[in-house]
Structure 1
Amino acid sequence: MFGTDGKGLRRNKRSRYSHLESLEDRRVLAPVISEFMAVNDSTLQDVDGDYSDWIEIHNPDATAVNLNGWYLTDSESELNQWAFPDVTIPANGYMVVFASGKDRSNPASQLHTNFKLSSDGEYLGLIRPDGQTVEFAYAPNYPAQTADVSYGLSLDLQSQGVLPFATPGSANSTNPANARNSVVINELMYSLPRAGLTDAENIDEEFIELHNRSSQAISLAGWRFTRGVDFTFPAVSIPANGYLVVAANVASFQAKYPGVNNVVGNWTGKLSNNGETVELVTEEGLVADTVSYASQGDWSVRTPGPNDRGSRGWIWGAPHDGGGMSLELINSAFHNN
């Protein structure tokens, strides 16, 4: 798993400035070697059908970067070992280079270095066009590698280690392989009480609670609510068997529940009082959990009466619908939809 020793982070830090009208300096984020596989037995084929070693370069900056004249090397004594052709990585993009020893630098095709990676561990660096400045390196050596297991940086680029699964050409994940099936929508507060029939509810007090039912902490960085409300998670994790509240408005939530500290927000939109679908997706866009709720249905606890104005089906007797109570998953092991 990941350490925090900071090794491999780029040695040279540079600050540049954005447009002249801005008074704030902007740090340009240089490319990094975000992931590599030194023993590729069955993970990724090159154009020849071979399972060659591969290296992933990530551009974390908000602008594209041209790598023409940059170098990759597995030797600290030969920094200009293999040169990039005129290729560009888009903003926040990725590029895979095969470390096959085939030495191919046609920008219109797959790129192949003139060296292979050692499974026993060695130096691996990304060098600037001057052939001397080490922008990023796994130094003095990356550790011994395992077949079809990639090594690289955490999603925030601050630590390095064995990755739970390979993601060549896309964002890395530091989560266990079952992370997507481990986080569930556990509680919804969607219909707040009103002082009177004509009074508006305080939608800032709405919230959604998530539960991690696994035995490992899970990072939610880049995860999103894509239906129901709109919210992208910051760099936050749910501890093993723990909980996290996502609030419509953090300040309003903490004022009402001052003892709850595991809360993030704020989201855009509101939860419908009449029912809708709430969907949680991972940073890769894969659906982690979906909940459809309603204020009435065949699973409620009483039949409609003469004052229910033609409502069909059973109606909730519990005060979750405008009575100040939330809708909660009873058993996190069961399907909640």
Structure 2
Amino acid sequence: MYARNATCYVRIPFTIDTNYTSLTLNVRYDDGFVAYINGVEVARRNFNGIPAWNSRASSSHSDSAAVLFENIDITDFLSELHQGDNLLAIHAMNSSKTSSDFLISAELIAAGGDSDDSAAEGILEYTGPITLPHSVQVKARVLSGETWSALNEAVYAVGPIVENLRITEIMYNPTEPNEEFIELQNIGSETINLNLVSFTNGIDFIFPNVELAPGEHIVAVQNRNIFESRYGGNINIAGQYSGKLNNAGERIELQDAIGRTIHNFRYRDGWRSITDGEGFSLMIIDPANTDLSSWDVKDSWRPSVYAGGSPGQDDGAILPEPGAVVINEVLAHSHAEASDWIELYNTTGTAIDIGGWFLSDSYDNLFKYEIA
């Protein structure tokens, strides 16, 4: 904003379910604003004329005054409120695009409703300790006589989210561009609630109030309709994220409700070639690995067994992990009656059935030689 524009747009959605007899807009501002409820102007300060995308406040508002709420009676505009969803929009302005500071803070106060707030969903009267069932944002006021205090709010994180929530699959470059998804799993032994967990880098998504049982998977998707048309409606979907995963690889960051890091790693398109546009996903090999830096390492990931990935489930038991069976020795130029040969080596401690596997020296014919 600094040195670019003196204007800032703010949109605050809110919901009402009752009728009120008075309405007050409380605003702290530096330097001016025009406020609207559901598209109708209800108040303005330090601006004249028709506002534009690059408007500036007509005068400054001193810092000492700006930090105090100005109470503006907008009861005349009560008729603009609707039962259900509403929108408070504010066109906030600095007096100059090079101003060293900027402030806009607003709240709507309604009174005289015909409902009992104590019975409204999400509103509790404090009479003793309150148990929080999941991570939540708490807003509180104190009523002293007939005067309410300023609104105070804080976010509380509940449950072992950081310890037990892990990213397990990334479909970053599907053959159908809108079939992207990221899968997560609860690796712990108790149910967790993902409320307010968020992706803050790579994609943008805040998880709703949803519980995840031990071992259970959940996915965040780019396009829910397209995802369900491909995979069906039985997969646990948290919601639809905004943004798009970078086909060339990028950093993914996942945080809990109070901003603690759950994951912060970078996936790369060169890790497994068939995951880069050929329809396969990246699958973490060991979700229970306690070393979170391993998510940054190629050898911690493998391609999905099938094209399309395996959202909502683990396909790890179908095939051995990468590196379980390796080519150990090759005789490529034999003499006389000797034959060329390839030696395979099982690097694990358990038997692996390789019947039906294929060897090939041709990228165009990957099924050239079948192992009986």
Normalized against structure 1, the TM-score is what?
Answer: 0.48
More strand per residue: 1 or 2?
Answer: 2
Q: What is the TM-score when the length of structure 2 is the normalising length?
A: 0.44
User: Rg larger in 1 or in 2?
Assistant: 2
Larger relative helix fraction: 2
